[in-house]
Chain A
Amino acid sequence: MYLYLPVALTSIAIFLPIGLGLLVGLLSGLFGVGGGFLLTPLLIMFGIPPTVAAATDSNQIVAASTSGTYAHWKVGNVDFKMGLYLLVGGFLGGLIGVQAIKILKAMGNADFVIKITYVLMLGIVGGYMFVESLSSMRKKKVEEVKVKKESKIEAFLKSLPFQTHFEKSGVTHSITVPIFLGCLVGILAAIMGVGGGFLMVPVMFYVLRMPMHVIVGTSLFQILFTCIEVTFLQSYTNHTVDFTLAVLLLIGSTIGAQIGTVFGRKLKGEQLKILLAAIVLVVTVKMIFELTMAPSLLLSLKGGH
């Protein structure tokens, strides 16, 4: 059964976006990522114009992250205070990132920088998380050594002004830390054209030292607001949100996010990390293949990630 998409100007078998939504929602509920890095290329592959795929993806992430945030909030896994500071930083970072893109485009090498940044960030984050999680799952000693190694960084963070306690996460930081980190992720996310969940989750774990389950809920909370802003701007400025496609995707993603949350609660923090790392690494390998193999078509429509 097919449904016509009024903005994408094409029709699609309805079970395809529902299935894709379910898969991405599952990842959202499990790991606290929006899943744009996975869904947008898949939608393009199934014939959705790139600009519509990216914008509609944001719309469906609003639904998936609402569903996920709600589920995590109900079990006390959302640190709203931390989420708000990260959000402020992310917003500032987004503005800086957009300007950075303009400068790169004017210099004529934007695509090269974006692709390389994407692959490097995915590779480094995925690789580090994978190795670190594997080690800490095998022996606890590694973790103790790490704590000692990072104590200097912790001492520096504690020396910063405006220290405040984040009760839900059980950590104390200067408010400048989440704002700065949110800003950094926001810059990278804007340059790469993604929500940045897969970057934010490791930052929350390794730098902010938040517990993994609270990270997932808080990341979803932050993604929710980012995607509300992006959906509105895309609708208002580019007219590229396809509501019909978004509905099909969110039918799957809202349910997927709930299932992901249930599964996530049954897994340990280390297991969640290693699974996310594996997915990030698979996406990295896929991107490296795309970059090094000659494409079958040398022309494409403008837009997208």
Chain B
Amino acid sequence: MRYQKSITSVAIIVLIILFLLSLFPKKSTAQLTARANHDHIQIDFFYHGSTVGVSGISDPGVDLVIKLTSAEGRQLLQKKGEVAGLLWMNVGELELEHTPGVYFLHSTKSIEDILSRDEMDKYGIGYQALKRHIEMTPAVSEEEKTKWFNEFIKFKESLNLYDVSSGKISLREKNGGQDYYILTEWPHQAPPGKYLVTVYAIKDKKVIETATADVLVEQTGMVKTFADMAKNKGALYGIISIAAALGAGFSVGMIFRKSGGAH
């Protein structure tokens, strides 16, 4: 009797545990991994952009979103508008807070089809989530905010610093898991800095797992020397720039004079 009671108690406890576990998202059988194959991009004088490959392993059958962003910051821009119904000119400034300078988003399917709005907002996935996240100054109506946010995206995409795409991630079932891979163009316009790659595994319109990797973009050699000098030793840099320009001007002048060009 006693023995039967304890078996019943254990069974109840196991059932409770199983019930509680079912309330949480299922743990993946293959842990999500992310790796950037080109995680240290060096900028030298002949740099003209690069490529970044992101790969890893996920559970089979899950959808994936790969987000590559710079740290959030402040973007200060000039607005153009129509004055007197005739002339287009600068009509003020637009300040955007909590905005990444670089934002690339790639997904296996359209993000609207695989994620709920709440999840997009929670993880900052997609332009609409970004729109709801950023702060715009001067404060404007919702309609105006949409207009200027769309202009901001257009502006950033024209500089190759923002991009959203779907269906470009390669998936391959392997050993009960799923290998994924994407090769993205890294634009030369992206400034030096530390970038974060975040991979989201998605099931039933929810993010069930995330993995991250870093990409470091760094100036090296003479490029770094010039950039540092321009920033930290402005006076010396200015004098060198002027001296070089004067020297070049005189040198070319003398070369042309010797060859009889200026006569």
Interface residues of A (CB under 8 A from B): 1-4, 6-7, 9-11, 47, 59-60, 62-71, 74-75, 111-112, 115, 228, 231-237, 239, 241-244, 246-247, 250-251, 254-255, 257-259, 261-262, 290-295, 297-302
CA distance in complex: A294, B80 (Å): 9
Q: Are A60 and B44 in contact (CB under 8 A)?
A: no
Inter-chain CA distance A242–B241, complex, in Å, is 9
The CA-CA distance from A63 to B234 in the complex, in Å, is 19
Tell me which of B47, B78, B235, B240 has the highest count of chain A C-beta atoms within 10 A of its own C-beta.
B78
Query: Is the CB–CB distance between A300 and B78 below 8 Å?
Result: yes
> Does A11 contact B249, Cβ atoms closer than 8 Å?
no
Instruction: List 9 A-B residue pairs with CB atoms under 8 Å apart, sorted by A's residue number.
Output: A3-B46, A63-B244, A63-B248, A69-B249, A234-B238, A243-B230, A250-B248, A258-B261, A292-B87
Q: Which single member of A6, A231, A298 contacts B238 (CB below 8 Å)? A: A231
Interface flags for B183-218 (1: CB within 8 Å of A; 0: not) read 000001101100000000000000000000000000
Report whether B226 and A6 are in contact in the complex, using a CB–CB cutoff of 8 Å. yes
Tell me the number of A-to-B contacts counted with CB atoms below 8 Å: 193
Q: How far is B45's CA from A10's CA once the two chains are assembled, in angstroms?
A: 10
What are the residues of chain B within 8 A of A231 when measuring CB–CB? 238, 241-242, 245
Task: Decide if B262 touches A262 in the complex (CB within 8 Å).
Answer: yes
- Bound together, the chains give a CA A236 to CA B242 distance in angstroms of 12
Contact with A along B71-100 (1 / 0, CB 8 A): 000001111111100111111011000000
Q: Does B17 contact A (CB under 8 A)?
A: no
Q: With A63-B249, A250-B248 in contact, is A241–B238 under 8 Å at CB?
A: yes
A1 to B94, CA, bound (A): 36
B161 CB, nearest partner CB in chain A, Å: 11
Q: Do the beta carbons of A243 and B78 come within 8 Å of each other?
A: no
Tier of interface size on chain B: 35 or more
| Given pairs A239-B230, A299-B80, 19 additional interface contacts (CB within 8 A) | A6-B223, A6-B226, A59-B241, A64-B249, A67-B249, A71-B253, A111-B89, A112-B87, A235-B238, A244-B45, A247-B244, A250-B249, A254-B251, A258-B261, A293-B88, A297-B155, A300-B155, A301-B78, A302-B78
**Shortest CB distance B111–A (Å):** 24
| B151 interface contact, C-beta 8 A | yes
Quick check: is B25 within 8 A (CB to CB) of the other chain? no
Complex: A291 Cα to B46 Cα, angstroms: 37
A2 to B83, CA, bound (A): 40
Closest 7 CB pairs of A and B: A66-B249, A235-B238, A70-B253, A254-B252, A62-B245, A63-B245, A2-B48
What chain A residues lie within 8 Å of B248 (beta carbons)? 63, 66-67, 247, 250-251, 254
| B38 on interface, CB distance cutoff 8 Å | no
Cross-interface CB contact of B46 among A2, A71, A235, A302, cutoff 8 Å: A2
A292 to B80 Cα, complex, angstroms: 12
**Separation in Å of the A72 CB from the closest CB of chain B?**
9
- Encode B148-187 as 1/0 by CB contact (under 8 A) with A: 1001101100110000000000000000000000000000
The minimal Cβ–Cβ distance linking B90 to chain A, given in whole angstroms, is 4
Closest to A250 in B: B248
Collect the chain B residues with CB atoms within 8 Å of residue A67's CB. Answer: 248-250, 252-253
A3 and B237 form a contact (CB under 8 A): no
Which of chain B's residues have a CB closer than 8 A to the CB of A111?
89-91
Closest A residue, CB atoms, query B235: A236
Residues of B within 8 A of A291 (CB): 87-89
Interchain CB contact under 8 A, A258 and B78 = no
Q: Which residues of A contact B114 (CB under 8 A)?
A: none
- B246 in the interface (beta carbon within 8 A): yes
Minimum distance in angstroms from A233 CB to a CB of chain B? 8
Contacts of A298 in B (CB 8 A): 79-81, 148, 151
Contacts of A62 in B (CB 8 A): 242, 245-246, 249
Q: Is B123 an interface residue (CB 8 A)?
A: no
Q: How far is the CB of A122 from chain B (nearest CB, A)?
A: 15
Q: Min CB distance, A25 to chain B, in Å?
A: 9
Residues of B within 8 A of A68 (CB): 249
Find the A residue at minimum CB distance from B94. A299
Assess the A241–B249 pair: CB atoms within 8 A: no
Q: Are B252 and A235 neighbours in the complex by a CB distance under 8 Å?
A: no
Complex Cα–Cα for A103 and B244 (A)? 36
Contacts of B132 on A, CB cut-off 8 Å?
none
B residues in contact with A232, CB < 8 Å: 235, 238-239, 242
Please tell me if the beta carbons of A4 and B44 are within 8 angstroms of each other in the complex: yes
Closest-by-CB residue of A relative to B252 is A254
- B43 in the interface (beta carbon within 8 A): yes
Residues from chain A with a CB closer than 8 A to the CB of B76 are: 302
Among A1, A47, A59, A64, the residue within 8 A (CB) of B242 is A59
